[in-house]
Structure formats: C-alpha cells, structure tokens
Copies of this chain bind each other. A is one copy, B any other.
Amino acid sequence: MNASSGKVIALAGGVGGAKLADGLAQVLREKLTVVVNTGDDFEHLGLRISPDLDTVMYTLAGLANPIQGWGLQGESWAFMEQVARLGGPEWFRLGDRDLATHAIRTSRLNGGATLTAVTAELCRSLGIVARILPMSDEPVRTVIRSGDDLFSFQDYFVRLRCEVPVSEISYEGSTSARFNRELVGIGAADRPAAVIFCPSNPYLSIDPILAIPGVRDWLRALQVPVVAVSPIVGGTAIKGPAAKIMLELGGPVSVTTIAEHYRGLISGIVIDEIDAQLQDQIEATGAAVRVAPTIMRSTADRVSLAETCLAFADDLGRRLLSRSGN
C-alpha cells in the first residue's frame, strides 16, 4: 500500500500544520488521521480550550478565519465586549461562535467524555471526514522557561506575544500521559503507509507529541516513511515564533536545523525551492530531500504540497522495500 492511496497519519499543531493537514484531507479524505498537539490546551473563563485542535478542525471544515490566523470566519465579539464591561480578562479573545465549541467540549468533558470522543463529535457536526485525534486524552502542558521565569504556554504565546527569550521548553504531564489509544498498537489493517510531520513549530507543536512516552518508538516500529515539511523557509518562519525560538535555543535559523532536530525520526524532508542549495547539508543528517514550493497561499497550494509529500513518501517507501531485500 502506498501513501497516495493508503492510510496516512499527519502530526500537526497550529496554522501552517492545519493548512497541510487540509491539503492531505482533500486528497485522502477518511484515510487521513491528524494527530494534534494539545500542549497548548488550557482552561480560561471556566472553559476548556484546545487551540490547536480547533485550528485543525476549523481549517478542515473550511471555516477558519484566513486573516486572523485563528478562530472562525465571520465571527462576532459581543461576548468579549461584555467580558470587558464586567471587568473580566480580555487578553485571550473568544468569539461568540467559537465559544460554542468550548462550551460543548467543556460540558462533555465535565460529563466524563474523553477529548478524543468530544473531538470526533465536533468533527462529525462540522462534516469533517478525516479523523482528528488529540495526541493524548491526558493533560500535557507546554511550559516556557525564560531565565528564572516559568510561563504557561498561552501566557507566553498570547499574553506576552512571545516577547521573552526562551531558555527551555518542557511538557508538563508528558511523562504520565498516554499516546492516543486509537494509535497505540495499531494492527496491520490500520497501519499507515506514511507519517507526515506538518510544517508546524517543532518546539511548540511537534515536540509535545514526541514527548509522550513511547511515541518515538511507535514511530520507528511502524517502519514506514516519515516525511517532515520544513516550517523554516529561506532562514525564517512563515508564521509564528519558530525562527525566534530556534535562535534563542542556539541553532542557526535554517531548514538544516529542522532536519537535525528530527534526526533519526524522519526518512525525508520537503524543503522550499529557496533552500535548494542546502540539500547536501541536509542529506548529511540522514534525511532524503525533496525540493518543492512549500508556501501555501491558496487551497490549490495546500493540495499540491500534500501531493508532493505523498509522492515523496511513496518513493521513500519503495526505497525501504528494496533495502529490505525485494
């Protein structure tokens, strides 16, 4: 079975990851499973909020706000106006429609449902046919250390607008969290043809998933092509603080640092045409390279990049097979 026609698992976090997940979903439909970072999840105004799950859901449902980069299109803000009037916290903005997701999720979780079950229900209501899974049903919380200060993720990301320098990132709860049960011990029938690391922030979106005990081993045990798409293009990040954090953690800001970061886990990496000259350097990390346009401006760009990833995975799969003696 190859990636273009078989089952595929994608790991994703925020906006960039959601865009490629959407491209993959348009090609693969119900054959795609997106495993989403929940390290950004938090409770706010009494509500359980899962920002990355929502970004992926809204993007795959065609409802994401394309300008804001988060939340729903056509959103209204009466709730926030009233929160302000009542002296409540204004730093995290919740749209009137977006609130429905959080309220239903909170209510179902309070009633004992798993985040996996609630997410599946929300996806069904939104007409999403791909499967979206939280990385875990147990809480994992990304914590940012800046010098002697510790910040919760949303504190760092939204309230402080990533302005403090990052000295360390940890994933609270990750040692006791279990990888999503629907993925652990996948049988032969459910085994994917490939795994794709979407162009999400490696430190804030992909690493929290990889920090869950057993995930790295699970990934290796699958023995399928693992293809990453670089979120660093031409020495900077398309969106978000990936480049800033990369610099603060000591790396040169380049796609090579991404390949190094995933060394031993990925079989190949898709890099942008602008970075083509880095191909040899990257291949030295052990990852095969495919050069392609990676900036997704339109829906067609998303589908095209998805197809590039799947074709690349197919080629890598054939190489795996020939190496194992066929």
Residues of A within 8 A of B (CB): 43-48, 72, 75-76, 78-83, 85-88, 95-107, 109-110, 121-122, 124-126
Report B-chain residues with C-beta under 8 Å of the C-beta of A105: 46
The answer to whether B82 touches A101, judged by C-beta atoms less than 8 angstroms apart, is: yes
Contact A88:B100 (CB < 8 A) given known A48-B46, A78-B76, A78-B78: yes
Q: Point out the residues of chain B lying under 8 angstroms from A126, CB to CB.
A: 85-86
The answer to whether A79 touches B100 (Cβ under 8 A) is yes
Q: State A44–B103 Cα separation when bound (angstroms).
A: 9
Complex CA gap A258/B46 in Å reads 40
Instruction: Check A122–B46 contact: CB distance below 8 A.
Output: no
Given contacts A78-B76, A79-B79, A81-B97, contact A86 B45 (CB under 8 A): no
Cβ A106 vs Cβ B46 within 8 A = yes
A-B contact pairs, 13 of them (CB 8 A): A45-B103, A46-B48, A46-B106, A46-B110, A76-B78, A79-B103, A82-B96, A82-B98, A86-B101, A86-B125, A87-B121, A87-B125, A96-B96
Instruction: Tell me the complex Cα distance, A103–B82, Å.
Output: 11
Contact B87 A99 (CB under 8 A): no
Check A45 against B83 for contact (C-beta < 8 Å).
no
Interface centre among A96, A103, A106, A110 (most CB of B within 10 A): A103
State whether A99 touches B99 (Cβ < 8 A). yes
Q: Which residues of B contact A72 (CB under 8 A)?
A: 82
Contact in complex: A96, B78 (CB < 8 Å):
yes
Complex contacts, A107 vs chain B, CB 8 Å:
44-46, 88
Residue among B81, B86, B106, B122 making CB contact with A122, cutoff 8 Å = B86
Q: Do the beta carbons of B46 and A85 come within 8 Å of each other? A: no
Question: Are A88 and B76 interface neighbours, CB within 8 A?
Answer: no
Tell me which residues across on chain B come within 8 A of A43, comparing CB atoms.
Answer: 110
| A46→B103 contact, CB < 8 A | yes
Contacts of A96 in B (CB 8 A): 76, 78-79, 82, 96, 99
